[in-house]
């Protein structure tokens, strides 16, 4: 069955808040009853601190195509856009289980392992329950977290390990979603590091209805969403006929989170991985510019 998330970037903060409340309450109890122990509160904590990502339909289709062509499984910690994240695909997801096509993924790092939880759209699940499964329809409220349905924890994936043939990993019916997730990570990082793409930033606020629901759920409805568009831009050829990347024009300051970077030490003649940040970035001419803050949904689109 094919389904879409039915969400926009503006909906992701509210979806995260609903998932937090669900996992900390009835969802956590349900997971414990199904043998998940204390996984419910863990999911709530991961979601609460997750970086938010939204991938539009065109980029989702590209990620699925790239994922299907990956020869082996290989994932390094540096490939992850963030240690904890909630990613929503706007494109279609396929599943052999009707009504459970994954359109969102929640992940976190645990040492040298990556734990992922798969989520599917609530409306598609409810429609399937109404048509094909009265039993599932009766229990649907237990697994629905707002716009999303908690499908369950996916496979624990290794980080920084050797390349592994896909056939040797017990993905079950999670293989396509896992392939698409790895390809999406590649696309998220590729514009930043390989293509040196520019990004545009726009501050938007959730809809008034979403703000009311976030407030009732105990969240902060005043936090804005930073809408990031990743793109590559070239400046027109100069008089000598050579092209180069356009200069970035900034109108804000922003904080950079702690991250790992390669630092060269001339005395040793070698590079070493170190932690940098957090720190405030102040572009030229932006000494008094506003500081970007609030929620951030990283949008990948074409």
Residue 280 lies in a domain: no
Residue 200 lies in a domain: no
- Examine residue 61 and state whether it is found in any structural domain, yes or no: yes
* Residues 286-290: contacts with CB under 8 Å, at least 24 apart: 286/250, 286/251, 286/252, 286/253, 289/250, 289/251, 289/252, 289/253, 290/252, 290/253
CA atoms within 13 A on the CB side of 84: 11
Domain-embedded: residue 288:
no
* Residues of the chain where predicted confidence (pLDDT) is lower than 50: 1, 191-199, 230-246
Q: How far is CA 140 from CA 21, 38, 150, in A?
A: 16, 21, 10
Domain range holding 99?
2-193
Domains: count for the chain: 1
Q: Which pLDDT value is given to residue 193?
A: 40
Closest CA to 73 of 190, 189, 185, 195: 185
**Distance of alpha carbon 259 from alpha carbon 254, whole angstroms:** 15
pTM of this prediction exceeds 0.75: no
Rg of the chain, C-alpha, whole Å: 21
Structure tokens given for 107: 């992940």
Which pLDDT belongs to residue 87? 93
Q: Please report the pLDDT score of residue 194 as a whole number.
A: 40
- Residues 197, 203, 207, 210, CA torsion sign: positive
User: Does 64 map to a domain?
Assistant: yes
Query: Is residue 113 a part of any domain in this protein?
Result: yes
| Distance from C-alpha of 218 to C-alpha of 24, rounded to nearest angstrom | 13
Instruction: Quote the pLDDT of residue 86.
Output: 93
Assess if residue 149 is contained within a domain. yes
23 CB-near residues (< 8 Å, 6+ apart): 31, 40, 41, 43, 44, 47, 145, 150
The answer to the question of residue 293 being in a domain is no
């Amino acid at each position: 069955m094919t389904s879409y998330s039915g969400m926009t970037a503006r909906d992701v903060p509210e979806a995260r808040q609903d998932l937090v409340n669900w996992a900390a309450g009835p969802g956590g109890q349900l997971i414990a009853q199904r043998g998940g122990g204390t996984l419910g509160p863990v999911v709530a904590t991961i979601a609460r601190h997750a970086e938010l990502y939204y991938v539009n339909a065109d980029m989702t289709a590209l990620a699925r195509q790239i994922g299907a062509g990956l020869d082996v499984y290989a994932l390094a910690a540096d490939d992850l856009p963030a240690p904890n994240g909630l990613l929503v695909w706007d494109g279609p997801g396929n599943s052999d289980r009707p009504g459970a096509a994954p359109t969102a993924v929640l992940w976190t790092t645990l040492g040298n392992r990556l734990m992922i939880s798969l989520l599917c759209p609530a409306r598609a699940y409810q429609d399937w329950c109404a048509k094909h499964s009265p039993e599932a329809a009766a229990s649907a409220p237990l697994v629905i977290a707002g716009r999303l349905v908690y499908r369950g924890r996916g496979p624990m994936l290794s980080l920084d390990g050797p390349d592994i043939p896909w056939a040797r990993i017990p993905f079950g019916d999670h293989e396509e979603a896992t392939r698409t997730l790895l390809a999406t990570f590649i696309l998220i990082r590729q514009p930043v590091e390989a293509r040196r793409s520019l990004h545009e930033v726009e501050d938007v606020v959730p809809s008034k209805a979403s703000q009311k629901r976030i407030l009732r759920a105990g969240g902060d409805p005043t936090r804005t969403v930073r809408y990031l568009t990743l793109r590559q831009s070239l400046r027109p050829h100069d008089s000598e006929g050579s092209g180069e990347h356009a200069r970035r024009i900034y109108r804000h300051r922003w904080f950079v989170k702690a991250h790992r970077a390669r630092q060269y030490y001339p005395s040793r003649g070698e590079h070493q991985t170190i932690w940098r940040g957090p720190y405030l970035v102040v572009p030229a001419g932006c000494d008094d510019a506003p500081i970007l803050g609030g929620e951030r949904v990283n949008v990948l689109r074409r």
